[in-house]
Amino acid sequence: MKSNRIIVILISLGIFFVSCEGPKTFSVTVIDKATRQPVDSVLVVVKVKAGNKEKSAYNLEGLTDSSGKFMRDEMIGYGLSLKRWHFYMEYDKKGYVHKTETDRTEGVVELEPAQ
């Protein structure tokens, strides 16, 4: 009887840890590197990977607003993954050089005007 209770507790803990999600905030302001002014309508694509494997369910995208801001709050299911999670933020707008940053999900992002 005691061993059954231990088994139930262990299974419950396993399910709890595997299904854990945590909040993740993506909050950046995109500016023009030359003029230091905000850049609106930049396509921001966020890709989430555990190790080398892409977690496609978490691919997010959107446009910066008139003040150059992009902000999203998402619940990311980390579970008991033994692999390190990486966040790839891609920035794309005509007239600017495409940019990708890794594991930098907050702050100011400078886009370089295309030559």
Per mean pLDDT, which of 21-25, 30-34, 50-54 is the most reliable? 30-34
Q: Is the pLDDT of residue 6 over 60?
A: yes
The whole-chain average pLDDT of the chain stands at 82
Q: Model pTM?
A: 0.75
State how far the alpha carbon of 63 is from the alpha carbons of 32, 35, 45, 82, 103, in Å.
15, 20, 9, 32, 19
Selection from 98, 93, 95, 102 nearest residue 46 by Cα? 102
CB-count exposure of residue 39 (10 Å: 0-12, 13-18, 19+):
buried
- Secondary structure (3-state) at 18: helix
pLDDT in tens, 45-85: 998 887 666 666 566 899 999 999 999 988 776 555 556 77
State residue 45's pLDDT score.
93
Domains and CATH numbers, the chain: 21-111 (2.60.40.10)
Query: What token pair was written down for 55?
Result: 């977690």
State residue 13's pLDDT score.
47
Task: Name the least confident of 13-17, 21-25, 68-72, 102-106.
Answer: 13-17
**What backbone phi and psi angles, to 5 degrees, belong to 13?**
-65, -40
Task: State the Rg of the chain over Cα.
Answer: 19
Tell me how far apart the alpha carbons of residues 1 and 52 are, in angstroms, rounded to a whole number: 44
